[in-house]
Structure 1
Amino acid sequence: MNTEKVTNHIVKWLKEYAENAKVKGFVVGISGGIDSAVTSTLCAKTGFPTLCVELPIHQAESQVNRGNEHIAQLKKRFKNVSEAEVNLTSTFEDFKTNVPQTEDAAKVALAEANTRARLRMTTLYYFAGLHGYLVAGTGNKVEDFGVGFYTKYGDGGVDLSPIADLVKSEVFALAAHLEVPDSIQNAQPTDGLFGDSRTDEDQIGASYDELEWAMKMQDEGKVNADFNGRELEVFKIYTRLNSINQHKMLPIPVCEIPNDLK
């Protein structure tokens, strides 16, 4: 991949989209991870005002530190970058006291994780509304169109997706070209939604390199019978997630009413 040409292409696309939409800039949620770092840097390079928002909810200190380091670096490099922080921990805790609970701990943990993402989305759109900005998504191709590893109407609730046609390895290549801080480039990918140290690989059961391979195999029409061992295990993980998460990737189904019933 020609990282310079890809960077220029995305920046040009962002600028043209913002100009055509007649908006004033971009807002990006900063997590301390590689995807949000690359996305915010690309937005900053457009010259449009770019607001980087940190939205901690019981966030690990390491993630907060990486996010702060990235924002400080961006502000030093680009005069059009500003920052805001909204600590949503108390909001999240208040929400939990007002909804019903269940004894199924796994279901509670997943519901609470998705709620964190949706609280953040709501906050990003608050800032977008205040300033006339677009919410820039931070999902990559494997997450958005491969395994559906994001929260519907959470981090999946965005106005445009600058890096959604790049697989994770390409995002890392772009990060190096964009001079994203080493601490972020070297960190294990994590969504940080569970308040512990689990990584994306822990949750999915496969690394992004493995998922990229499986995505390529599926695109080539391969099936389970073509693999064995770890390859078969990874391919099954990928195809299962790709199947059960189609509801995130496809347009919302609409019940169309026949004309003779209207």
Structure 2
Amino acid sequence: MTNKTKMNTEAVTNHIVNWLKDYAQSARVNGYVIGISGGIDSAVTSTLCAMTGLPLVCVEMPIHQDPSQVSRAKEHITFLKDKFSNVTSAVADLTSTFETLKAAVPTSDDEAILNLTLANTRARLRMTTLYYYAGLHRSLVAGTGNKVEDFGVGFFTKYGDGGVDVSPIADLMKSEVRAIGEYLNVPSSIIIAKPTDGLFGDERSDEDQLGANYDELEIAMLAHEKGAKAEDFTGREREVFEIYSRLNRINQHKINPIPVCLIPIEFK
């Protein structure tokens, strides 16, 4: 399996910036609101939003957050504010809110299910918070999902980080997002950091959860789109392809639009 050809980074960057600007103006809103996690996806997306010249509110939303994620988020916000006068920031510490909700709902003896459910709950609290800020500022919520996450393995929380108004980088592979990050001079600490969803309050990475890194999954996704089968590969390549295929299959409920039960016309 081989990776795709190199893209025109400058052209893609300018296209996304113009798309964001045109969309906001067509929607008659002031600008954008985005959650800053300390990861490459939110760093690149927020920089692209800032480049529109429209107001951008960057929101930190820690919930028992690992210190390294908090420090990278703050570093990136400082980078943005130093470079763009249209960027403001806010901190909404949701730790106590999260703990209050935990105390109000049932628990479970199944620790794995409980931890996953609580992780998704964190993402949904953050979504609600971002829309609160968006309402105050008459702005849109910018999503930070890349193509592998959103349309490959469905690695996002439905109505959490998947609950957004626009998805500027959802047609870009992770390697392409990194390339744009380097082109935009995003802090190197963010570019080299292991991707993590930051939903468990520790240092576990996306690779720890998925069983493969994004470069591997990207190659598997391209092969899958061309109709490849698991038996076409051996060793680690086959293992990753099977991981990708399984996640793509079980997460179609997130990848596809919400199904609507259509009522036959004769019943109406």
Scaled by the length of structure 1, what TM-score is found? 0.99
Tell me how far 1:220 sits from its aligned partner: 1.1
Q: Which runs of 5+ in 1 are unaligned?
A: none
Which residue of 221, 228, 236 maps to 1:230?
236
Where in structure 1 do 4 or more consecutive aligned residues deviate above 4 Å?
A: none
Asked if 1:191 is matched to 2:185, the reply is: no
Asked if 1:49 is matched to 2:47, the reply is: no
- Corresponding residue for residue 215 of structure 1: 221
Asked if 1:150 is matched to 2:144, the reply is: no
Asked if 1:21 is matched to 2:27, the reply is: yes
Asked if 1:104 is matched to 2:110, the reply is: yes
Tell me how far 1:225 sits from its aligned partner: 1.2
- Corresponding residue for residue 88 of structure 2: 82
Cα deviations by residue, 1:173-196 (Å, 9 ceiling, x for unpaired): 000001100110111100010111
5 Å matches for 1:113-262? 113-262=119-268
Q: Provide the C-alpha distance between the structure 1 equivalents of 2:12 and 2:220, rounded to a whole number of angstroms.
A: 24
Q: Provide the C-alpha distance between the structure 2 equivalents of 1:218 and 1:157, rounded to a whole number of angstroms.
A: 26
Tell me how far 1:148 sits from its aligned partner: 0.3
Tell me how far 1:167 sits from its aligned partner: 0.3
Q: Counterpart of 1:100 in structure 2: which amino acid?
A: P
Q: Provide the C-alpha distance between the structure 1 equivalents of 2:100 and 2:171, rounded to a whole number of angstroms.
A: 37
Q: Provide the C-alpha distance between the structure 2 equivalents of 1:148 and 1:251, rounded to a whole number of angstroms.
A: 12
Tell me how far 1:109 sits from its aligned partner: 0.2
Q: Provide the C-alpha distance between the structure 2 equivalents of 1:101 and 1:76, rounded to a whole number of angstroms.
A: 45
Q: Provide the C-alpha distance between the structure 2 equivalents of 1:150 and 1:100, rounded to a whole number of angstroms.
A: 24
Q: Percent identity among equivalent residues?
A: 68
Q: Provide the C-alpha distance between the structure 2 equivalents of 1:156 and 1:130, rounded to a whole number of angstroms.
A: 21
Q: Counterpart of 2:143 in structure 1: which amino acid?
A: G
Q: Counterpart of 1:146 in structure 2: which amino acid?
A: G
Tell me how far 1:261 sits from its aligned partner: 1.7
Q: Provide the C-alpha distance between the structure 2 equivalents of 1:183 and 1:100, rounded to a whole number of angstroms.
A: 39
Q: Provide the C-alpha distance between the structure 2 equivalents of 1:106 and 1:100, rounded to a whole number of angstroms.
A: 15
Q: Which runs of 5+ in 2 are unaligned?
A: 1-6
Tell me how far 1:136 sits from its aligned partner: 0.3
Q: Provide the C-alpha distance between the structure 1 equivalents of 2:250 and 2:193, rounded to a whole number of angstroms.
A: 28
Q: Counterpart of 1:102 in structure 2: which amino acid?
A: S
Asked if 1:70 is matched to 2:41, the reply is: no
State the SS of the aligned residue for 2:58: strand
Q: Provide the C-alpha distance between the structure 2 equivalents of 1:72 and 1:137, rounded to a whole number of angstroms.
A: 20
State the SS of the aligned residue for 2:73: helix
State the SS of the aligned residue for 1:51: strand
Tell me how far 1:197 sits from its aligned partner: 1.3
Tell me how far 1:258 sits from its aligned partner: 1.4
Asked if 1:5 is matched to 2:11, the reply is: yes
